[in-house]
Amino acid sequence: MTRNLLTRILPAAVLIALSTAAFAQTAAPAQAFQLPAFQRVKLPNGLTLLLLEKHELPLVSVELALRSGSVTDPQGKEGLASMTAALLRKGTTSRSSEQVSSDLDFIGMQYNAQVDQDGAHVSGDFLKKDLDSALALMGDVVLHPTFPEEEVKKKIAQQQDSIRAAKDEANRVLQLYFMKFLYSDHPYGRPANGDERSLGTISRDDIAGYYRQHYTPANAIVAVAGDFDSAAMQSKITQVFGSWNGKAPAAATLPAPKPVSGKRVLLVDKPDATQTYFMLGNIGINHTNPDRGYIDVVNTLFGGRFTSLFNTELRIKSGYSYGAFSFFNEMKIPGPFIMYSFTKNATTEPAIDKTLEVLARLHKDGFTADELTSAKKYINGSLPPTFETTPQLAHTMTTLELSGITREQFNQNLVKLQGTTEADSRRIINTYFPSQDYAMVLIGKASEIQKIAAKYAPNVATKKISDPGF
Amino acid sequence: MKIYRPHRLLLALAAALAFALPLAAQNINIQEHTLKNGMKVLVQEDPSIPNVALYTFFRVGSRNEHEGITGLSHFFEHMMFNGAKKYGPGQFDKTMEAAGGSNNAYTSNDLTVYQDWFPNSQLELIFELESDRVQNLAFDPKIVESERQVVYSERRLSVDNDNFGLLDEQLEATAIMAHPYHWSVIGWPSDIEKWTLDDLKTYFAKGYSPSNATMVVVGDVKADKLFQLAEKYMEPIPAHDPPPPVRTVEPKQLGERRISVHKFAQLPIIEIGYHVPQAQGPDYYTLELLQALLTTGESSRLYRSLVDQQQLAVQVQSGHEATIDPYLFTFTVQPRQGVAPEKAEQALYAEVDKLKTAAVDDHELQKAKNQVISSYYRSLRSINRRANVIGRYQVLFGDYHKLANVEQEFNKVTAADIQRAAKEYFDVNNRTVATLIPDTAPEAKDADKPAEEKQ
């Protein structure tokens, strides 16, 4: 049992959002931490290579990212990008699926492939002494997958059941429902890992076709962090990935998401819930928003740390909840701004009332100069551990590259946020924390909270947790 | 000026072994100092980032509770943040966050651990905050009531509304009848509702003696300076008696126990527990390797058989923890939709039985060793995780020096050890099985609602 939810119990989807936020959030005053320098090289085939040497431990982390995320899934085939990434390891031209697993496990390598809206990430983490076999394995799964029919069927059926299983725990699926409800038909509203129905429409041909189009060096970034010599690593990466060829697919053009105007509520009935899990918010910001540093400072005070206004009211003062957080998920085009908490069925109404009251108070009172100073120090102090290990650094490099942010710009933003003034804070609150317009999703026991939900919007949409989709 | 005895942990000892990490060896020297009140302080200087992880381990947890106060250790952990003498309610967190620090804490069956993470410039402030609460914790009755609700919300999140958490609690309560590991760390709902202020005060007086604590500091600090601060802030706190020893020994299980939990769900879950020895008992490392052989990675035996080849399960996991007293080795299987739980359960036994009848070959055993050893080294690569590992070795394994032998301990394990342990522990008479059976009509069960939700 842990005291603070933030670091432990958040569902994976929320954690991803938080880590993105934390990554853009962590900061530096004048002489403090700045992201260490790394080398950026373009190979002749168009592959972008990022190298960061770190020699304290004989470990190496590699992350390969593609500039194609789940937004490239055709409508109705949600989960195609994600299934393609998941199936890379399920058989190559020279290794069976079982052989790939045995080889990965024999060197104690941690391997992972996952897809979010804006990109795909395939990562490997291993001991320096296994560098050659690890790179060969990563090259094999990325360059030579065969997508055996049998494996495709198996993986898709497993993923459908994983979604059913996730729905047995409200907290694991809340953000998926929220994204769908907020973004509606926009590609950001589609579930990156698909849903029970969309997965069933995906064939082996879809996967092979998706792979041919998107898995090309000009569409890819390889980041390596750890104990190596950069020149030697560049030649090793060239050996493994140099013969890869193909053009980059046309970049997905995404319409600007439309913020919710007015109030919309969705209630998802989970008849066994003894607690209501809720999110409310609206469209937030993208990764390059020039105000992002200021927003980090303001959100830290509003809902980004233990003593935030939101957690103080929902947890510390009232005991309504084990935790209450807000975050901006910065994405390629504006991602969501979300307030998240949960409370027992009987206190659903006062807890949501309090949540709205906290938003209203933010606008009424704003933050003092002392509070802003506290947030800046907090952000700055939590920065170094965020960039401490080689998987963190490899992931940081691919994320920056996908976002189109240089290291210099990243570091400048950290310096800039240290200058946040009360006037900046006021402007940020007025611009980025809408209090009258919101989308709200509740997962809970409808027979007990239906009437309460109706209080927060003129019409309440309803679903059952067992209904397919989100 | 005192002279401190530095103890160097030389992982270079392991250089001859398969996964030698000579560079890691330089990074793991630990200096040790015991304060006059018995608090042990362990420091590892590591200037690679300008931050510090300061963890305080109290050797007290749900194991030290009894009926009526189950969950109190964890509740107490929450109360440690709610005000002391110098820093009143809310001030501990406010002060730490304003200084660029953050914190958390966790409670297990055996331990309560307080974690502070902060820039190295704030070291003295953190000592002030920590000594204030360890010496002069205050209990405001109003805060006790509101924190009680916070903990209940945590219970709903991690047990009542989490089918894995719920089944886990029921399995432990069935497999362990007598020893205090019988109840979950969060505690039974009726106890959460009824703990009193006096319970908290008694508990503080029992568990929170400095002599019952180990402080582990890893990061950009100098050991001499750290020991001086520990003497200034922690040494004046008087020692008193530690919690009384836990007397009850779990009697040997004499036959399989089975329970079922009926609950609204889309998919069933099966959890199987076998009694196994404690961290300092025999076979700790053998059991870790059994875990790797059976469920670590997609080449593991149970993943390959149940998830991949037979497609009976969405996932299969196993659990084995370092504990003070004998605890459980668990398997958790989530069957695929339409697969009868019994079928997945039998398939699991069939795989586990193969480990009893035939020895693992060298390649597979080496694979498991490579997995656990590389994972051990990964656990040392951030100052936060390293502070946790060092503290757990000191408190649960009895001596942080044993960290130097982890690789050797794994490498000593033979195929015969694996086979013997599989036979000894994964025995039907040593087994408890809990099955969550999906129930599609939850409304009919309103009469069973917990008291709290009925009012």
| pLDDT tens track for A318-376 | 999 999 999 999 999 999 999 999 999 999 999 999 999 999 999 999 999 999 999 99
Which neighbouring-strand residues pair with A340? A279, A325
Q: What average pLDDT does this structure show over B192-202?
A: 94
Min Cα distance B429 → chain A (Å) is 31
Q: Which candidate from A1, A305, A317 shows the least CB-CB separation from B107?
A: A1
* A181 neighbors A441 (Cβ within 8 angstroms): yes
**A368 and chain B in contact, CB less than 8 A:** no
- Of residues B181 and B18, more confidence is placed in B181
**B299 and chain A in contact, CB less than 8 A:** yes
A160's tokens: 């459908």
| Residue A158 neighbours by CB distance under 10 Å | 19
B111 vs B395: CA distance, rounded Å = 9
**A12 and chain B in contact, CB less than 8 A:** no
In A, minimum Cα distance to B103 occurs at: A4
Which neighbouring-strand residues pair with B104? B115
Q: What average pLDDT does this structure show over B76-87?
A: 96
* A104 neighbors A111 (Cβ within 8 angstroms): yes
**Which H or E run includes B417?**
helix B415-425
B306 DSSP assignment: I
Of all residues in chain A, the percent with pLDDT exceeding 70 is 93
B455: closest CA among A344, A298, A447?
A344
Q: What is the dihedral of CA B251, B253, B254, B257, to 10 degrees?
A: 140
pLDDT of residue A31: 54
B137 vs B242: CA distance, rounded Å = 17
A109 vs A125: CA distance, rounded Å = 6
A55's tokens: 């020699």
Report CA Rg, chain B.
Answer: 23
| pLDDT tens track for B364-394 | 999 999 999 999 999 999 999 999 999 999 9
Secondary structure (3-state) at B5: coil
Strands B213-219 and B40-45: parallel
Check whether A25 has a pLDDT greater than 60: no
pLDDT band at B180 (very low <50, low <70, confident <90, very high): very high
Asked which of A94-98, B4-8, B367-371 is least confident by mean pLDDT, the reply is B4-8
pLDDT band at A28 (very low <50, low <70, confident <90, very high): very low
A127 and B102 in contact by Cβ < 8 A? no
**A59 and chain B in contact, CB less than 8 A:** yes
Average pLDDT over all residues of chain B: 91
State the burial class of residue A427 (Cβ atoms within 10 Å of its Cβ: 0-12, 13-18, 19+). middle
CB neighbours of A403 closer than 8 A, spacing ≥ 6? A287, A288, A330, A332
| pLDDT tens track for A232-267 | 999 999 999 999 999 999 988 899 999 999 999 999
A57 and B74 in contact by Cβ < 8 A? no
B31 vs B46: CA distance, rounded Å = 12
CA B279 to each of CA A305, B110, B370, B393: distance values in angstroms, whole numbers, following the listed order: 36, 11, 21, 9
Interface of B with A in 179-218 (CB under 8 A): 185-186
In B, minimum Cα distance to A60 occurs at: B378
pLDDT of residue B205: 87
A183 vs A171: CA distance, rounded Å = 20
Check whether B248 has a pLDDT greater than 80: yes
pLDDT of residue A16: 35
Check whether B440 has a pLDDT greater than 50: yes
pLDDT of residue B26: 38
| pLDDT tens track for B145-176 | 999 999 999 999 999 999 999 999 999 999 99
B20's tokens: 């030698």
State the burial class of residue A184 (Cβ atoms within 10 Å of its Cβ: 0-12, 13-18, 19+). middle
Which neighbouring-strand residues pair with A117? none
| pLDDT tens track for B10-28 | 222 222 222 334 334 434 6
CB neighbours of B405 closer than 8 A, spacing ≥ 6? B13
B307 vs B315: CA distance, rounded Å = 6
Which neighbouring-strand residues pair with A282? A337
Min Cα distance A354 → chain B (Å) is 15
B275's tokens: 């009694």
pLDDT of residue A20: 35
A242 vs A205: CA distance, rounded Å = 27
CB neighbours of A150 closer than 8 A, spacing ≥ 6? none
pLDDT of residue A458: 93
Q: Which candidate from B106, B146, B266 shows the least CB-CB separation from A168?
A: B266
**A466 and chain B in contact, CB less than 8 A:** yes
A127 and B160 in contact by Cβ < 8 A? no
Asked which of A105-109, B7-11, B433-437 is least confident by mean pLDDT, the reply is B7-11
pLDDT of residue A2: 72
A216's tokens: 């090309």
Strands A460-464 and B40-45: unpaired
This model of the complex carries an ipTM of: 0.93
Concatenated DSSP letters for B200-250?
HHHHHHHH--GGGEEEEEEES--HHHHHHHHHHHTTTSPP-PPPPPP---P
Q: How many CA atoms are closer than 13 Å to the CA of A459, on its beta-carbon side?
A: 2
Please name the residue that has the structure tokens 């029921």. B170
B63: closest CA among B185, B195, B239, B240?
B185
Secondary structure (3-state) at B91: helix
Secondary structure (3-state) at B178: coil
Q: Which candidate from B97, B337, B373 shows the least CB-CB separation from A164?
A: B337
pLDDT of residue B307: 98
pLDDT band at B3 (very low <50, low <70, confident <90, very high): very low
Q: What average pLDDT does this structure show over B177-200?
A: 97
Sign of CA dihedral B214, B219, B221, B224: positive
pLDDT band at B34 (very low <50, low <70, confident <90, very high): very high
pLDDT band at A32 (very low <50, low <70, confident <90, very high): low
Check whether B5 has a pLDDT greater than 80: no
Which neighbouring-strand residues pair with B260? B435
pLDDT of residue A5: 55
Three-class secondary structure assignment of chain A: CECCHHHCCCCHHHHHHHHHHHHHHCCCCCCCCCCCCCEEEECCCCCEEEEEECCCCCEEEEEEEECCCHHHCCCCCCCHHHHHHHHCCCCECCCCHHHHHHHHHHCCCEEEEEECCCCEEEEEEEEHHHHHHHHHHHHHHHHCECCCHHHHHHHHHHHHHHHHHHCCCHHHHHHHHHHHHHHCCCHHHCCCCCCCCHHHHCCHHHHHHHHHHHCCHHHEEEEEEECCCHHHHHHHHHHHHCCCCCCCCCCCCCCCCCCCCCEEEEEEECCCCCEEEEEEEEECCECCCCCHHHHHHHHHHHHHCCCCHHHHHHHHHCCCCCCEEEEECCECCCCEEEEEEEEEHHHHHHHHHHHHHHHHHHHHHCCCHHHHHHHHHHHHHCHHHHCCCHHHHHHHHHHHHHHCCCHHHHHHHHHHHCCCCHHHHHHHHHHHCCCCCEEEEEEECHHHHHHHHHCCCCCEEEEECCCCCC
Which neighbouring-strand residues pair with B52? B118, B219
**A382 and chain B in contact, CB less than 8 A:** yes
B99 and A322 in contact by Cβ < 8 A? no
Extract the runs of DSSP E, i.e. beta strands, from B286-385. 313-320, 327-335
pLDDT band at B442 (very low <50, low <70, confident <90, very high): low
Interface of B with A in 102-161 (CB under 8 A): 102-108, 117-119, 122, 145-154, 156-158, 160-161
pLDDT of residue B13: 27
- Helix pair B91-98, A369-381: axis angle to 10 deg: 70
Which neighbouring-strand residues pair with B331? B272, B318
| pLDDT tens track for A100-157 | 999 999 999 999 999 999 999 999 999 999 999 999 999 999 999 999 999 999 999 9
* A383 neighbors B103 (Cβ within 8 angstroms): no
Min Cα distance A56 → chain B (Å) is 7
B204: closest CA among B60, B104, B317?
B60
B157 and A168 in contact by Cβ < 8 A? no
* B320 neighbors B387 (Cβ within 8 angstroms): no
pLDDT of residue A251: 85
* A336 neighbors A193 (Cβ within 8 angstroms): no
